Amino acid sequence: MTAVIPSEATPGTDDRAAGSGRRRPRAPRRSGLSFRTRGEIALFTGPALIVYIGFVFVPIALAAYYGFFTWNGVGAPTKFVGADNYIRAFTDPNFLKAIQHNAFYVIASLVVQGPLALLVALLINRRIRLRGMFRLLLFAPYVLSEAVAGVAWRLLLPPGGAINAILGGLGLDSWKHDWLGDPSVTNWTVLVLISWKYLGFAVVLFLAGMQSIPDELSEAASIDGAGYWQTQLRITIPLLGPTIRIWAFLSIIGSMQLFDLPYILNGGRPATGNQTMATYMMLYGQERHMYGFGSAVAVILFVLSLAVALVYQRLVLRRDTEGALTRGVF
């Protein structure tokens, strides 16, 4: 990506070759790095690694361990059950439904938010009045806490709440629903709310991507007589590819891990038809005191996320530098 910095400087700082991984430093490596360089690397990465391993990897390893036990959280886990918890999860219709709900959010979020955010980003990337204000209003839901947003929506969505009142006022009585209780609509409610919440993030990300597209290209196109939208379609959107792919990745992972919003809205329980994998995990891991089983579900959630990320990386992100999530970019 960036230009290669040759590294024939002093030995000991042998290769600062930031950037290209193909170009090996020309300086002889001798027996690898100097003691001092090793020390620097350790000093700079050590604290982060400790926090990262201690609070990210260790919990996941613990979950993998607890997942093999039936354990109610009192005392030490002693009842080893092997893979039983995993088998149970995958034979529980409610967990399979939860997976389907997450899959629905993953796909529907991409389909709904992607094009909409692109359209809006293209609109406010133009030199319109009050652009900053539009950007702020669009981004507002994203910066709100899920809990705060959830509490607000919980007040708006009950059968006798403001949303149904507005629908009634518009003469759309047949559109009224028990938005958080009717299992046939709750998934749509959640979809609308996550679209509302995360559209702004997509828009800001796309705007950021558009900023780095050279103006010379669209200028050239408009000199050639292409209209604004034609230019966007032919030039901006294709060049936005890497940004779109990274957004899609973040959106997919976010949809797979959805917890706060459904949990605050209606608990995200099976009976309301909008249970997610994460609320399923917390239902067992918290309320039902089945810590072993809950941990197994955490592991499943982790492995599924990892699998999706790997596949995505392989099929989609391969060409994008910074999207190389599983391999170094050097």
Q: Is 225 left (phi over 0), alpha (psi -120 to 50) or beta?
A: left
The pair of structure tokens assigned to 200 is: 């702004």
Alpha helices in 157-234 (DSSP H): 162-169, 186-211, 215-223, 228-231
Total number of residues binding other proteins (CB under 8 A)? 162
Q: Is 326 in the site for other proteins (CB under 8 A)?
A: yes
Q: Which of 154, 226, 234, 316 binds other proteins (CB under 8 A)?
A: 154
Does residue number 227 form part of the binding site for other proteins (CB under 8 A)?
no
What is the total residue count of the chain? 330
Q: Six-digit token pair at 283? A: 């239902």
**Per-residue string for binding with other proteins, 276-295, x by CB under 8 A?**
--x--xxxxxxxxxxx-xxx
Tell me whether residue 111 or residue 133 sits nearer to other proteins (CB atom): 133
Alpha-carbon gap, residue 276 to 19, rounded angstroms: 41
Return the number of the residue (16 or 314) whose C-beta is nearest other proteins. 16
Considering only residues 98, 105, 187, 209, which one is a binding residue for other proteins as defined by CB under 8 A? 209
214 binds other proteins (CB under 8 A): yes
Q: Residue 40 CB, nearest distance to other proteins (Å)?
A: 6
The rounded radius of gyration (Å) of the Cα atoms in the chain is 25
Q: Determine if 51 is a binding residue for other proteins (CB under 8 A).
A: yes
Q: How far apart are CA 115 and CA 244, in angstroms?
A: 10
Q: Which of 99, 102, 108, 200 binds other proteins (CB under 8 A)?
A: 200
Residue 171 interacts with other proteins (CB under 8 A): yes or no: no
140 is a site residue for other proteins (CB under 8 A): yes
Closest CB 127 distance from other proteins, rounded Å: 4
| Residue 22 lies near other proteins (rule: CB under 8 A) | no
Instruction: Give the residue with the Cβ less far from other proteins, 8 or 111.
Output: 8
Structure tokens at 266: 């209606």
Q: Which two tokens stand for residue 300?
A: 């499943």
Q: Is 172 in the site for other proteins (CB under 8 A)?
A: no
Determine if 104 is a binding residue for other proteins (CB under 8 A).
Answer: no
- Of residues 196, 213, 194, 217, the one with CA closest to residue 120: 196
Amino acid letter, residue 27:
A
Residue pair 314/298 in contact by the 8 Å Cβ criterion: no
Q: Are 44 and 33 in contact (CB under 8 A)?
A: no
How far is the first Cα of the chain from the last one, in angstroms, to the nearest whole number? 9
Q: Is 34 a binder of other proteins (CB under 8 A)?
A: no
Q: According to the binding rule CB under 8 A, does residue 305 interact with other proteins?
A: yes
- Cβ(159)–Cβ(176) under 8 Å? yes
| Per-residue DSSP letter, 270 | G
Query: Smaller CB distance to other proteins: residue 108 or 252?
Result: 252
Regarding 33 and contact with other proteins (CB under 8 A), the answer is yes
| Residue 114 touching other proteins (CB under 8 A) | no
Among 104, 110, 181, 234, binds other proteins (CB under 8 A): 181
* Region 235-264 residues binding other proteins, contact defined as CB under 8 A: 239, 242-243, 246, 249-250, 253-254, 257, 259-260, 264
